[in-house]
Amino acid sequence: MDLQLKGKRAVISGGSKGIGLSAARALAAEGVDLVLAARDAEVLAAAAQAITAEYGVKAIPVPTDVRDDAAVRALAQRAEDELGGADILVNSASNQQVGAGHPGLAGTTDENFYSDIDVKLVGYLRTARAISPLMIRQGWGRIINISGLGARSTLSITRTIRNVSVVALTKNLADELGPHGINVTGVHPGQTRTEPTDHQLAQEAARLGVSFEDAERRRAANILGRLVHADEIADVIAFLASPRSVSITGDFIPVGGGQPGVVYY
């Protein structure tokens, strides 16, 4: 299937690693030029250089903290200056450490709660607010928000609230921006294989005295029986970023390998 993405321009927050980097690579493979945003300038520059070398597209690193509205507005300006605008926004910036230990009520501090919300929820709001005028101007665009299956389960108060809130933000943006030709969607990853995961699973397997595959199955707890790879999530993101996804807006696609025993509607 031709995704009709060649020549499009994308801005990706959290684009230096994890799902954001995988999304960048998937879009680059389709001929999309990129502006990549993340906080670590060195890691970001290396990621952009590798993408350009492999796919031959523009990949412009713009160190950005999405908690800083001025920095986010400067990011949008760079997209306009360097690429002439933006067709696609992938919001993937997050702090994976906050809520990772499922601290419960007593361990959920104000500082951690507000820090996480500021990055993943308000950060998504800031980037959408800054980038969407470029899309409105041309009458077409795609915004894809990375949330998480924590929106549909408990265990981490902070993660559940932030992910449910991203869903609410997405639907609000879809309703408002739809008349301008902009589709706003999202994906719900579950436990995902990213750069650090193999090392973590190897340690877990050694600690439990089981095989790597058994450790992976224990962590996955899904119908697929293994963790979903970030590149597999990126394939779905690339489709949602394309003109082919015109019939989907305001909705989320779960990409966690299937939750057993759950009927969601």
Who has greater pLDDT, 153 or 177? Answer: 177
At residue 194, the pLDDT reads: 86
The rounded distance, in Å, linking the Cα atoms of 221 and 232 is 17
- One-letter amino acid for residue 126 of the chain: R
The rounded distance, in Å, linking the Cα atoms of 59 and 16 is 11
Q: Residue 168: how many CB atoms within 10 A of its CB?
A: 11
What is the residue whose two structure tokens read 């579950």? 190
Q: What is the mean pLDDT of residues 207-214?
A: 94
Residue 3, φ and ψ in degrees, nearest 5: -80, -5
Class of domain 9-194+228-255: alpha beta
Q: What is the pLDDT of residues 136-147, one digit of tens each?
A: 999 999 999 999
84: left (phi over 0), alpha (psi -120 to 50) or beta: left
Q: What is the pLDDT of residues 166-183, one digit of tens each?
A: 999 999 999 999 999 999
And the tokens for 47?
A: 């990621």
Query: Domain-by-domain residue ranges, the chain?
Result: 9-194+228-255
The rounded distance, in Å, linking the Cα atoms of 42 and 51 is 15
Write out the E strands in the chain. 9-13, 33-38, 59-63, 88-91, 141-146, 182-189, 192-193, 228-229, 252-255
DSSP state string for 18-36: HHHHHHHHHHHHTT-EEEE
Contact predicate 19/26, CB 8 Å: no
SS3 193: strand
Helices (H) and strands (E) in the chain, counts: 10, 9
Q: Quick one: pLDDT band at residue 206, thresholds 50, 70, 90?
A: very high
At residue 99, the pLDDT reads: 46
